[in-house]
Copies of this chain bind each other. A is one copy, B any other.
Amino acid sequence: MFSKACEYGIRATIYIASRSRQGERAGIKDICKEIGAPEHFTAKILQNLSRMKIISSVKGPNGGFYLDEGAKNIKLIDVVRAIDGDKLFTGCGLGIKECSETKPCPIHNEFKAIRNSLQQMLERTSLTDLTKDLEKGLVFLKR
């Protein structure tokens, strides 16, 4: 479904959102330990998200990644789009050159419905929403 990069990216940003809500920044080592992801690879992903202004970062002692005030209602779809693009939401399920109503593939209608419900789910879910259950220990970012 999502690429590994995207999976790590989402898990990392959820964790960052949680730490951020507590007024803390999260270091890459810490993040990767908590979400069970490869450190250097995840660092690259967060660098990209940072360049795209999805998340913020500061270097140096007590530095790390965080969500700035305006980014508190970043939605999952923003993270997915930033990492995997929107092929998943606009592309044909059977991989024909383009998904269109006028020249649809055999599963176009059924697939589109599922693709749209995935998109809507990602659009309505913000990182901050997910931190609540995480902090209550009801959901997990690894194992």
CB of A63 closer than 8 Å to a CB of B:
no
- Determine how close the nearest CB of chain B comes to the CB of A120; give it in whole angstroms: 10
**In contact, A94 and B143 (Cβ under 8 angstroms):** no
Q: How far is the CA of A97 from the CA of B141 in the complex (A)?
A: 10
Using a Cβ–Cβ cut-off of 8 Å, how many residues does chain A contribute to the interface with B? 39
Measured between beta carbons, the chain B residues less than 8 angstroms from A96 are: 11, 36, 140-143
Measured between beta carbons, the chain B residues less than 8 angstroms from A4 are: 95
Measured between beta carbons, the chain B residues less than 8 angstroms from A133 are: 106
Could you list 7 examples of A-B contacts with CB < 8 Å? A7-B94, A8-B95, A97-B142, A97-B143, A103-B143, A104-B138, A110-B121
CB of A130 closer than 8 Å to a CB of B:
yes
Among residues of B, the one whose C-beta sits closest to the C-beta of A96 is B142
A96-122 vs B, Cβ < 8 Å mask (1 yes, 0 no) = 110000011111101101100110010
Measured between beta carbons, the chain B residues less than 8 angstroms from A108 are: 139
Q: A64-117: which have CB < 8 Å to B?
A: 76, 88, 93-97, 103-108, 110-111, 113-114, 117
In this complex, which of A2, A96, A133 has the most chain B Cβ atoms within 10 angstroms of its Cβ?
A96
